[in-house]
Amino acid sequence: MIPKGFRVIKPEIRVLGVDDGIFELRSGGFATVVGVVFRGGYWLDGVMHTRIKVDGFDAGEKIAGMILGSSHFKQLRVVMLNGVTFAGFNVVDIKKLNEATCLPMIAVIRDRPDEESIREALKNLPKSGERWKAMRGGGKMYAVQARAGAAKVYVQVAGISLEDATKILRLTSTRSNMPEALRVAHIIASGLTAT
Amino acid sequence: MIPKGFRVIKPEIRVLGVDDGIFELRSGGFATVVGVVFRGGYWLDGVMHTRIKVDGFDAGEKIAGMILGSSHFKQLRVVMLNGVTFAGFNVVDIKKLNEATCLPMIAVIRDRPDEESIREALKNLPKSGERWKAMRGGGKMYAVQARAGAAKVYVQVAGISLEDATKILRLTSTRSNMPEALRVAHIIASGLTAT
C-alpha cells in the first residue's frame, strides 16, 4: 500500500497502541494482547484485547481481527505496535497488517534490537526463516527523536511516511519518549496479567 | 478512623480508582476487579487487579489485599471506588476498607441509587441483612458537583472529610463528571472482560 499522506494531523487523532502482557516463555500457552485507544497523547478512550499463541504465528491475524471487530475501528487513524514481536517470537508483518486493516502502522521500540542475538534465538524455534522474513518485512528501522531531550526510539512504518509517523510520535509522546498509547498499553497489559 | 485532614492537595496526588469488569449475573462465578493508579486527573501510572466472587462477601478483603500488596501502595493518598457494590452485591464496607488500608475512601456513583429496588434485589440473596448493613455502613450519601457544568455525582466517604473529598473530585474529574481514575478503571475493566 502506498503511504496515505495525512493532510493535517489533528491533536486529538485517534491512535491505537498495542502491547502484550506477561506470559510463560516457551510455554506453548497463550498471551494476552491489549489494544488501547487514545485521543492524541492525553485521553484514554477505549480498551480491547485478544489472545495469541506464545511463539505462534497468529499475532497478525488476531490483532487484525481485534482491530476490525472493535467499536472504535472507524475512529482509528493509526496503529502503534510495541515492536513487531509479541508473545515471544509471534511476529507481526506490519505491511500485511496495514493491508488487512487499511490503517497505517508504526512499530516503535525503545532499544535498537540486536540482530545477532535475535537470529540465535530464532534458531531454537520452528519455521525460523518465516519469522525472520516477517520481521524484515517491517522494512528499514529508523531512529526518531519523538520527545525533545529524551532518548530516541526505533521505528518501522507501513502505509505511512516516516515524516508523518514522526509528527504523530511527537504529538503523542506526552509523558515519556514512547507514545502515550504504548506506554499505557504496556502498563495495562502487564498489570492485568501479573499474578 | 477520624478523617485525616489534607494540608495541601497536590495536583499530582496519587489516586487509585477501583471498578469491576463484566461478569455473569447470579453465576456464582468470579469477576475481575481493576485498580488504576492515576497522578491527579491526567497520568496513568499503574494497574492492578484481583478477582472476587459474584454476589460473594470477599470484595472488601480482596480489594484491601490488592492495595496493600501493590508496589504503588506507598504512593497512594486516596482510594476511589465506583460505588460500594461490586460483582453484583458483593458489598464493600468503606469504613472497614479505610481501617484496613489506612487510606481515605471516596465511593462515587453517577446516579443516586434507588433504595427501594436495592432492598427488593437483596431479598433474593443470602445474608441480605449483612449486605444492607455494609452498604449503609458507607454512611450518608452526598450530591457533589465535581465538574462545573456537568451532572452531580453521589458520594460516600470514610477517613476523609466531605470538603477534602470534594476538592479531590474537582481536581481529578478532568474529562467527565467522574474522576479520571474511575472513568479509566471502568474502560479497562470492561474492555478486558468483554468477549
Helix, coil or strand: residue B96: helix
Q: Is A70 on the interface with B (CB under 8 A)?
A: no
Q: Is B65 on the interface with A (CB under 8 A)?
A: no
pLDDT confidence of residue B95: 96
Please give the Cα distance from B44 to B134 (Å, whole number). 30
pLDDT confidence of residue B2: 53
Q: What is the per-residue pLDDT across A100-111, written as a single tens digit (0 to 9) for each? A: 999 999 999 999
Average pLDDT of the segment spanning A13-40 = 91
Mean pLDDT across chain B: 93
> Which residue of B49, B184, B191 is in closest CB contact with A48?
B191
Q: Do the Cβ atoms of B62 and B48 come closer than 8 Å?
A: no
**Nearest of A182, A22, A7 to residue A109 by alpha carbon:** A182
Percent of chain B past pLDDT 90, that is, above it, reads: 77
Tell me which chain A residues have a C-beta less than 8 angstroms from the C-beta of B32: 192
> Which residue of B45, B49, B184 is in closest CB contact with A44?
B184
Does residue B1 register a pLDDT over 80? no
Q: Is A178 on the interface with B (CB under 8 A)?
A: no
Q: Measured between CA atoms, how close is A135 to chain B, in angstroms?
A: 28
Average pLDDT of the segment spanning B109-135 = 89
Q: Is A184 on the interface with B (CB under 8 A)?
A: yes
Average pLDDT of the segment spanning A124-135 = 91
pTM, two decimal places: 0.91
Q: What is the per-residue pLDDT across A52-95, written as a single tens digit (0 to 9) for each? A: 999 999 999 999 999 999 999 999 999 999 999 999 999 999 99
Does residue A4 register a pLDDT over 70? no
Burial of B169 (0-12, 13-18, 19+ CB in 10 A): buried
- pLDDT confidence of B82, banded at 50, 70, 90? very high
Q: Is B42 on the interface with A (CB under 8 A)?
A: yes
pLDDT confidence of residue A3: 63
Please give the Cα distance from B56 to B64 (Å, whole number). 15
> Which residue of A32, A47, A49 is in closest CB contact with B187?
A47
Strand B30-39, strand B14-20: pairing: antiparallel
Average pLDDT of the segment spanning B137-149 = 91
The CB density around residue B78, as the number of other CB atoms within 10 Å, is 26
pLDDT confidence of residue A2: 53
Helix, coil or strand: residue B114: coil
pLDDT confidence of residue B178: 96
Does residue A28 register a pLDDT over 80? no
Q: Is B47 on the interface with A (CB under 8 A)?
A: yes
Q: Which three cell numbers stand for residue B59?
A: 470484595
Q: What is the per-residue pLDDT across B52-75, written as a single tens digit (0 to 9) for each? A: 999 999 999 999 999 999 999 999
Q: Is B69 on the interface with A (CB under 8 A)?
A: no
Please give the Cα distance from B40 to B36 (Å, whole number). 12
- Indicate which of B33, B34, B176, B187 best probes the interface with A, i.e. most A CBs within 10 Å of its own CB: B187
Q: Do the Cβ atoms of A156 and A107 come closer than 8 Å?
A: yes
Mean pLDDT across chain A: 93
Q: Can you say whether the dihedral through the CA atoms of B112, B181, B90, A47 is positive or negative?
A: positive
Query: For residue A7, which amino acid is it?
Result: R
More confident position, A193 or A183: A183
Tell me which chain B residues have a C-beta less than 8 angstroms from the C-beta of A46: 187, 191
